[in-house]
Amino acid sequence: MIGRFGGLIGTLALGLSGCGDAGTLQNASWPLHGRDSSAQRFAPIDQINTSTVDRLGLVFAHDLGTDRGQEATPIMVDGVLYLASAHNVIEAVDATSGELLWQYDPQVRAESARGCCGPVSRGVAVEDGRVFVGAIDGRLIALDATTGQPVWEVQTIDQDDRLAVNYTITGAPRVVGDLVLIGNGGAEFGARGYVTAHDRATGERRWRFYTVPGEPGVPDNAASDSAMAIARETWAGEWWKYGGGGTAWDAIEYDPELGLVYIGVGNGSPWNHDMRSDGKGDNLFLSSIVAVDAATGEYHWHFQTTPADSWDYTATQNIILADLEIDGSMRKVLMQAPKNGFFYVLDRETGEFISGEPFVNVTWATGLDPKTGRPIEVPSARYYRTGEPSFQFPSSGGGHNWPPMAFSPETGLVYIPAQDVGMPFAEAEEEQVIGAYTSGVAMDGGGAMTQEERDALYAGMKGYLIAWNPHTQREAWRVNEVAPFNGGVLATGGGLVFAGNTARELVAYDASTGDRLWSFDAQTAVSAPPITYVIDGVQYVAVLSGWGGGWPLTGGVMALQAGKAVGPNRLLVFALEGQETLPAFTPPTMPRRAIVSARPTDEAAIARGNQLYARYCLRCHGTGVVSAGAYPDLRASGLVSGPAFHTVVIDGALAPNGMPGFADKLTPAQLEDIRTFIQARSFEDLGAN
């Protein structure tokens, strides 16, 4: 049982300077992704507090010049905010005035459609006068922090790998001593995950840790060799043909006291355990937290949250470090709320399971083994064994996804942007195509459901901000959101929790009670996490606004629960007595006229097109062909019914704008099936208008 909370970890790089207590600081930075090495996203600053927050106002808004969505944590060092926008465009902005100091564009638009969830970035790393950028096309780039000019760049993805084209980078690099660490994504398309450490000064590779084993008999000669000897015994079949998965696309944290790096590992490629590994073995290190030596990459321990994952239940969600008193002794712990719906407290020295309970609706398992933390699965969850679909919670979107949670050592609570969303899992009948959405799960473009079924499904989708007590493994309070997939979280010494939502707001809550104390209309949904800092005795709160990635792109009608949430992407900065306002904005209107005068009658073609659309088009153009993001709503696009459809989709005429060509994946006959499906959906929704 967990007792009362202790203090912060050892001596942390808090980024604080000046004199007096936290409320009278002259300067306080936000130098790391999670603010300090604890990654708690807590700032002990209290100028903005429960009594003064009603005076909070906009100081400036900086337009990012895109509508493709924002997920990054700004980094603030020496009075400068370093931003990563869509397509990895990097900007340095004066943190008090909003003046643009420089901009760097790595020119990745033609590559940006490779990933699963839009051309997004979760940020940069800044250290010793350099800004480190992970680009979608796999490059790690070091920029001069003063000028924005490139100092060095390296390609982190082996270009002679047959799966190289399927990799992307959306996560923020992490600086660990004289190293820069970067992971990657791409497990949905066929990839083998790894984290690489590069020399901070030169970019030279120092070590690499693979998260899943490769083809038998082909040596890696990597830091993970001893770990792969352990992992290989938990795999079967010919998994390497699909890559295996296990991409580390977000959570990488570092404990300088222990000298350990903690890697959050993702899902399998494909998801379907039967297809991936003949339905055998736990498939290490999928859906695991792996601890490695920071200097060498040598394996220390692992904890697997979802053995033999078959549902995209990644453990890539953010990791928080803290010191807690447990059974009368102080323990160094880490905490995570991964996709699978359970909240975990682990010993971060050994990986020992301490406690875990569901923080959202979980139907795939009845609980966790109290000694090992292994899930106690319900038999129906293994859809490939039963031959029957399993409708279960959470969906592949998870009970908690990438928007980071925060921990306040003052309240002892963790604040989680959580959601209840269900999903049917069933084995795919069609052959999987590497480079397409290779899940091994039956995909549906939203055309197989009736309107009544869609309405019932969407009505059951809910989002929350949950205050979770890791001492009791119980909820302390919750705020009901209007839709799932809300923004990341900031906790402060002023007794506040800041979080964005899909209803176009940034909101401040009382950290102890969840009472809503202040809000701001951002004119677009806020998914990115806020930060706070102090310059010359003034506390600021900053956040990137703009909807894109994850549910906003693929959620279709579900994403419209919150209303028309797509709008201008901006950096918003607030302080007490701020008086600025945003320009008037009219949300975009929904399409009103169908692209055909009658619904197509070829039901077989519509059914085939439904599955093909789900595999190749849904991640950008939305479930049911309803785009709630910044991509065209194809139900109202005249391009679909003309010859330009082939030119764009097959020939790649718009590839420079981020719309790839599919000549190597789709035949002309398959394109016609997709066209027929889109036309059917267009008439179903818009034909009566």
Mean pLDDT of 270-293: 97
Reply yes or no on whether the pLDDT at 614 is more than 60: yes
Beta partners for 92?
82, 102
Token pair 């549910």 is found at 551
Phi, psi of 383 (to 5 degrees): -60, -30
pLDDT in tens, 231-281: 999 999 999 999 999 999 999 999 999 999 999 999 999 999 999 999 999
Q: Which of 297-301, 304-308, 335-339, 392-396 has the lowest mean pLDDT?
A: 392-396
| Strands (DSSP E) found in 156-204 | 174-176, 179-182, 194-199
SS3 content of the chain, % helix, strand, coil (to 5): 15, 30, 50
Kindly indicate the confidence band of residue 558, based on its pLDDT and cuts at 50, 70 and 90.
low
Together in a domain, 572 and 625: no
Share of the chain above pLDDT 90, in %: 69
User: Which tokens belong to 126?
Assistant: 């800044």
Structural domains of the chain, count: 2
Interval 451-472: pLDDT, tens? 666 666 677 789 999 999 999 9
pLDDT recorded at residue 316: 98
Q: Exactly one of 274, 312, 673, 685 is catalytic; name it.
A: 312
201 belongs to a structural domain: yes
Instruction: State the Cα–Cα distance between residues 387 and 215, nearest whole angstrom.
Output: 29
Q: Check residue 467 and give its pLDDT.
A: 98
Same domain assignment for residues 114 and 15? yes
CATH of the domain at 494: 2.140.10.10
Whether 564 has a pLDDT exceeding 80, the answer reads no
Please indicate whether residue 336 or residue 588 has the higher confidence score (pLDDT). Answer: 336
Q: Is 70 exceeded by the pLDDT of residue 628?
A: no
Per-residue pLDDT tens digits for 66-110 = 888 899 999 999 999 999 999 999 999 999 999 999 999 999 977
91 φ/ψ angles, rounded to the nearest 5 degrees: -130, 145
Specify whether 498 is located in the same domain as 636: no
Indicate the average pLDDT of the chain: 89
Q: Are strands 42-43 and 489-492 parallel, antiparallel or unpaired?
A: parallel
The residue-averaged pLDDT of 364-378 equals: 98
Same domain for 631 and 498, yes or no, is no
Q: With 70 as the cut, is the pLDDT of residue 24 above it? A: no
312 is catalytic: yes
CATH number, residue 630: 1.10.760.10
* 394 shares its domain with 333: yes
pLDDT at 54 over 80: yes
Q: Is the dihedral of CA 93, 175, 157, 266 positive or negative?
A: negative
**For residue 496, pLDDT beyond 50:** yes
Do 568 and 656 lie in a common domain? no
**Does residue 435 form part of some domain?**
no
Q: Is residue 18 part of a domain?
A: yes
For residue 51, what are the contacts with CB-CB under 8 A and spacing of at least 6? Answer: none
| Beta strand 174-176 pairing with 150-155 | unpaired
Q: What is the mean pLDDT of residues 122-147?
A: 97
Closest CA to 685 of 618, 615, 591: 591
Buried b / exposed e over 81-105, threshold 16 CB at 10 Å, is bbbbbbbbbbbbbbbbebeeebebe
Contact, 591 vs 621, CB < 8 A?
A: no
Give the C-alpha separation, 71 to 551, whole Å.
13
Residue 593 lies inside a defined structural domain of this protein: no
Domain co-membership, 530 together with 636? no
> What are the DSSP calls for 107-131, one per residue?
--GGGTTSSSS-S-----EEETTEE
Look at residue 172 and tell me whether its pLDDT is greater than 50. Answer: yes
Give me the pLDDT at residue 297, please.
98
Domain span including residue 647 = 603-686
- pLDDT at residue 4 is higher than 50: no
Residues 383 and 479 in one domain: yes
Kindly state whether residues 556 and 618 are assigned to the same domain.
no
Encode 566-605: b = buried (16+ Cβ within 10 Å), e = exposed.
Answer: bbbbbbbbbbbebeeebeeeeeeebbeebbbeeebeeeeb
Last residue of a domain, one of 558, 576, 594: 576
Question: Cα(656)–Cα(630) distance, rounded to whole angstroms?
Answer: 17
Residue 494: closest CA among 539, 543, 464: 539
630, 548 contact by CB (below 8 A) = yes
Statement to judge: residues 182 and 323 lie in one domain = yes
- What is the band of 138 on the pLDDT scale with cuts at 50, 70, 90? very high
**Rounded average pLDDT over 498-508:** 96
Cα–Cα distance, 46 to 31 (Å, whole number): 19
